[in-house]
């Protein structure tokens, strides 16, 4: 019985994490739509691109990741490359395996400042970053490109966007929806069926 209770508690915790992530995602999409109103329809349909990955159960980490992806969507940029938050997670795991060289530390600090500018690790982090950039800026650039590529998700891209003209259960004028409103489209489909039926009867009789 204890095992069942533990399992039930774990299931509830997992579901809570999922619902929290959904709330964060919808909030970040709403904010992105306000920043880029001309891309609001596309951003609404970008929900599938911002699924949380490993280590994304922390709110500020996930929000940074989602925000960067949504900015790329709005700008028409590649959404597959690793985000600054994903690079930070890679650096955090790698740092537990072996000490970083100077460029590695510089990359970690650069990505942290990009992903979480309002959460410095210590008061002097910005000044330290200037120091590392002065020493190894070019090497850090190369390392950033490499790690972003290795942290990329080849499936994280929008295909053909389809919309039924409904967002959050409300009828909307979305540029990806059919030009006919749902009711008119349904009526047209019914008429096409009637016409097809009449043609079939004429052929048979």
The pLDDT score that the predictor gives to residue 200 is: 38
pLDDT above 60 (res 93): yes
Mean pLDDT lowest among 41-45, 73-77, 171-175? 171-175
CA angle 21–68–156, rounded 5-degree value:
75
Contact 61, 89 (CB under 8 A): yes
pTM of the model: 0.77
Question: Mean of the pLDDT values across residues 19-33?
Answer: 92
With CA atoms as reference, report the closest residue to 95 among 83, 105, 82, 109. Answer: 105
Name the average pLDDT for the chain.
83
The pLDDT score that the predictor gives to residue 114 is: 96
The pLDDT score that the predictor gives to residue 122 is: 84
Which carries the bigger pLDDT value, residue 107 or residue 123?
Answer: 107
The pLDDT score that the predictor gives to residue 12 is: 41
Question: Mean of the pLDDT values across residues 82-86?
Answer: 97
Hey, is 171 helix, strand or coil? Answer: strand
Question: Mean of the pLDDT values across residues 175-180?
Answer: 83
Hey, is 167 helix, strand or coil? Answer: strand
The pLDDT score that the predictor gives to residue 18 is: 62
Instruction: Estimate the crossing angle of helix 59-75 against helix 2-35, to 10 degrees.
Output: 40
Residues 95 and 3: their CA atoms lie apart, in Å, by 36
Which carries the bigger pLDDT value, residue 15 or residue 149?
Answer: 149
DSSP string, 70-83: HHHHHHT--SSSPP
Question: Mean of the pLDDT values across residues 119-126?
Answer: 86
Please provide the size of the chain in residues.
205
Contact 70, 46 (CB under 8 A): yes
Question: Mean of the pLDDT values across residues 114-135?
Answer: 89
Cβ-proximal residues to 58 (8 Å cutoff; 6+ apart), any chain: none
The pLDDT score that the predictor gives to residue 151 is: 96
Contact 29, 48 (CB under 8 A): no
pLDDT above 70 (res 14): no
> Tokens at residue 90, please?
């890679």
Q: Which long-range contacts (CB under 8 A, 24 or more apart) does 20-24 make?
A: 20/59, 21/52, 21/56, 21/57, 21/62, 24/59, 24/62, 24/63, 24/66
Question: Mean of the pLDDT values across residues 153-177?
Answer: 92
Residue 138: CA count within 13 A, CB half-sphere: 0
Residues 205 and 194: their CA atoms lie apart, in Å, by 16
Which carries the bigger pLDDT value, residue 98 or residue 105?
Answer: 105
């Amino acid at each position: 019985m204890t095992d069942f209770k533990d399992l039930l508690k774990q299931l509830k915790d997992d579901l809570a994490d999922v619902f929290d992530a959904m709330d964060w995602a919808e909030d970040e999409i709403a904010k992105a739509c306000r920043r880029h109103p001309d891309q609001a329809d596309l951003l609404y349909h970008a929900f599938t691109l911002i699924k949380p990955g490993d280590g994304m159960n922390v709110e500020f980490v996930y929000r940074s990741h989602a925000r960067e992806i949504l900015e790329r969507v709005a700008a028409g940029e590649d959404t597959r490359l690793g985000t600054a938050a994903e690079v930070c997670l890679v650096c955090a795991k790698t740092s537990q395996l072996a000490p970083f060289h100077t460029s590695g530390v510089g990359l970690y600090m650069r990505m942290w400042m990009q992903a979480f500018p309002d959460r410095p690790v210590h008061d002097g982090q910005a000044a330290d970053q200037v120091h590392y950039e002065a020493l190894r800026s070019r090497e850090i650039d190369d390392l950033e490109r490499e790690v972003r590529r290795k942290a990329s998700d080849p499936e994280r891209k929008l295909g053909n966007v389809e919309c039924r003209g409904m967002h959050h259960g409300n009828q909307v004028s979305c540029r990806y929806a059919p030009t006919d409103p749902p009711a008119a489209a349904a009526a047209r489909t019914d008429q096409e069926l009637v016409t097809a039926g009449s043609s079939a009867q004429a052929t048979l009789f």
